[in-house]
Structure 1
């Protein structure tokens, strides 16, 4: 348990530092590309730092502090004005810079390999050099979108899980969270499900590990529910994987113009998930919160 808590603390510290780095960089008027170039790292690597996905050495922290006109102690401390965290059920409009928004639209419509930088530029309302000014390759755009996807999903899933009292309630909340995310954020969810194969190493392994963390949360609650006799599936690991796969497939068919809202779908999927793990029946109409 102590090891798990220490890992969680390290992850939270990295995420907090990443948020502060992003805030200070933006306040100083630097782009991701400018910081990455100055530190002689890839944009994908620096995006991972700002998303709390990778470690920043003390030497590099000192270097970025000097670049941004501050000091490492300030970066390690609390931000002057932290942005308010939204609840895990709240989905404000997604705010992306123009190249990322154009890439997301192009990748969803044409697929990663079918979309060119010219296509991305057209969707973004920019010239091709305008896109390259901030993003050196199409791969960097994909990495940034998948980092954003997993960072947002895991933050919401941890918050949802923390609300639960016991494995059954935590399982229900995790399923609700997954269903809400993959409807409200269906474009990001679609890219996350369809374009992992397009990632290059080491980003593929790193982002796959984040996906495995999401699966592990559900695995643990199903296993504990079975241990306590609350769930009766004879195949807890396989059942948990079926539940997550069912939720991540939502972007393939759900549409905001359809008859069911994300909240209705989430309630239905909680019911479906409980059937899979052989849990107690619930009022499906109210299960989505």
Structure 2
């Protein structure tokens, strides 16, 4: 909180004025002498003019730089903190451990060290939390897949397909929990939320379909069932989140390299 206030150029007295508290109270909050509730964090973020997620984020806080690179130029092989707020982090932990139906809104609140009433200021229901989690997952996954595909040479479906597979495999290894919940809990979404999220799922599949079809048309892939092979490849990569263990010592990069070879065999690639 203090680092973000400094970075924004706001004085302690100005923040106290905006929060309608004494400067001593702000000092106590910054030094951890008094309890920092979710409601108070939201008020502070609003007063300073930053996203609440900046104050929720683990690790040293910092302001979002104004020169964030375009997503097309992102390094799709690097996985930094996904920027979830404390409630989404808690929900991810609970849902991954117990399943959506197995955890309650109170479980999530306890994991977030918050009250249920405070959580409702951010998310009106447990369903809203799930929607936010899956949307975050699918958006991130889709952006990375596009960046990986476009990193390949136009007209080279082998390279573009291989990098798509590498991206999917890396994601479901490095972001195992998000990948697992994003895939397994689609069934828990209410009807109203399905179309938008399913469309992202379909867009991802279409990207892989396109490269496989082009590879077949150019005689580079020999499968006589490109549609089924493409779906098998995506399902194979998504399933990594079900079994991969980050503590196993096997690096995600090795998993991804192996899965690229598996995928090329599935589509019948013959160098």
Query: What is the TM-score of this pair, normalised by structure 2?
Result: 0.73
Structure with max Cα Rg: 2
1:123: how far off? 1.2
How many residues were matched structurally?
A: 212
* Aligned residue number for residue 101 of structure 1: 89
Instruction: Provide the residue aligned with 1:167 in structure 2.
Output: 157
Counterpart contact for 2:164–2:208, Cα < 8 Å: yes
Aligned-partner Cα distance in 1 for 2:270–2:216:
12
Match in the other structure for 1:187: 177
- Unaligned 5+ residue runs, structure 2? 1-45, 54-63
- Displacement, 1:202? 2.5
1:227 to 214, 217, 235: 217
For the residue of structure 2 that corresponds to 1:134, the secondary structure is coil
In structure 2, how many angstroms separate the alpha carbons of the residues matched to 1:109 and 1:138? 16
1:137–1:256: structure 2 CA closer, same or farther, 3 Å change rule? same
Aligned ranges 1:61-80 → 2 under 5 Å: none
Post-superposition offset of 1:29: 5.5
Alpha-carbon distance in 1 for matches of 2:157, 2:222: 13
- 1:280 paired to 2:270: yes
What is the aligned counterpart of 1:242 among 220, 232, 238?
A: 232
Residue 164 of structure 1: how far off its partner (Å): 1.1
Are residues 1:118 and 2:106 paired?
yes
Shift of residue 130, structure 1, vs aligned partner: 2.0
Q: CA separation in 2, counterparts of 1:26 and 1:248? A: 41
Shift of 1:95: 2.5
Matched, 1:218 2:208: yes
Shift of 1:205: 1.2
CA contact (8 A) 1:182 1:247 kept: yes
Q: TM-score, normalised by structure 1?
A: 0.69
Secondary structure at 1:257 match in 2? helix
Task: Identify if the C-alpha distance between structure 1 residues 168 and 130 changes in structure 2 by more than 3 Å, giving closer, same or farther.
Answer: same
Q: Classify 1:82/1:144 alpha carbon distance in 2 versus 1 (closer, same or farther; 3 Å).
A: farther
Give the Cα separation in 1 of the matches to 2:158 and 2:65: 39
Aligned equivalents of 1:113, 1:26: Cα separation in 2: 37
Farther off after superposition, 269-278 or 92-101? 92-101
User: How well do the aligned residues superpose, as a CA RMSD in angstroms?
Assistant: 2.2
Task: From 197, 221, 229, give the equivalent of 2:187.
Answer: 197
Where does residue 176 of structure 1 map in the other structure? 166
Structure 1 distance, partners of 2:51, 2:238, is: 35
Is the contact between residue 179 and residue 266 of structure 1 (CA under 8 Å) also seen in structure 2?
A: yes
Could you list the structure 1 runs, at least 4 aligned residues long, displaced by more than 2 angstroms after superposition: 25-32, 82-86
Residues 244 and 26 (structure 1 numbering): CA distance in 2 closer, same or farther, change over 3 Å? farther
Q: Tell whether the 8 Å contact from 1:31 to 1:134 is kept in structure 2 after alignment.
A: no
Q: How far off is 1:80 after superposition?
A: 9.1
Change (3 A) 1:26 1:249: farther
Contact 1:178 1:247 in 2 (8 A): yes
